[in-house]
Amino acid sequence: MMYIKTFIIMLILLLGMNMRITVQGIEESQAEKPDYSRVGSKIENTVRGSIEDQSWMTSVSKQEVHSLLKRYFAGNLLEDLTEKCWDFIKEPTDWYSEAKVIDMKVLYNDGKRAVVEALIRIEDVDTGHNEIGKGLFTMNSAGDQWRINYMAIQWGMQSEIR
C-alpha cells in the first residue's frame, strides 16, 4: 500500500513537471512570434490622423498639401486626394465641421498589409448635427510607417452620439 501511494505521488509530480515544461515551451514559442500590438497602434494612429488631421486645409500650395497628406496616404490615393484637396482649398468655403474616429477595428494585419474598419463622426460645429460613416481602409507598411492606399467611406447614418 505504501508503494502505491509513493507511486501515485511520483506520478503526480512527474505530470506536474511535464505540464510546467509544456507551459514554458508555449511561452517561449509565443515570445518568438512578432508583436503586432505596437504595429497595431501605428496602424490606428495613421487611420485616426487621416481622418482627424485637417492641417492640409491651410496649405498655400499643392506641394504643401501633398507633403501633409503623404504622412497618411500613398500611391494613386495620395495623388487623387492631393488634387481634390487642393481644388477644395482654392474655392471659398465655410467649412465648419470636425471629423472624429469614434471606433476602430483592425480586421487584418500580417505585418506588411492591414485592413481597418473605422466608425467616423462628422459634426457641424455650428448646428451640432452629426453624421456617421463607416470607413474601410487598406494599408501597406513603408518601413516602420503605415500608409493608406485605399479607402471607402459610406456616409448617411444619423447619430445622437456626442
Query: 10 in a domain, yes or no?
Result: no
Query: 17 in a domain, yes or no?
Result: no
Dump pLDDT digits (tens) for 54-84: 899 889 999 999 999 999 999 999 999 999 9
- Beta bridge pairs of residue 150: 138
Cell numbers describing residue 131: 453624421
- The CB density around residue 75, as the number of other CB atoms within 10 Å, is 12
pLDDT of residue 118: 96
CA–CA gap between residue 106 and residue 116 (Å, rounded): 4
Query: 100 in a domain, yes or no?
Result: yes
Query: 61 in a domain, yes or no?
Result: yes
The answer to whether residues 40 and 106 touch, using CB atoms and an 8 Å cutoff, is: yes
Lowest mean pLDDT among 34-43, 107-116, 128-137: 34-43
CATH at residue 134: 3.10.450.50
The closest alpha carbon to 132, from 102, 92, 94, belongs to 102
CA–CA gap between residue 94 and residue 106 (Å, rounded): 34
Q: Which domain holds residue 59?
A: 35-158
Strands, sheet with 97-109, edge to edge from the N-terminal-most edge strand: 97-109, 113-124, 130-142, 145-158
Residue pointed to by grid coordinates 467616423: 120
Query: 42 in a domain, yes or no?
Result: yes
Query: 85 in a domain, yes or no?
Result: yes
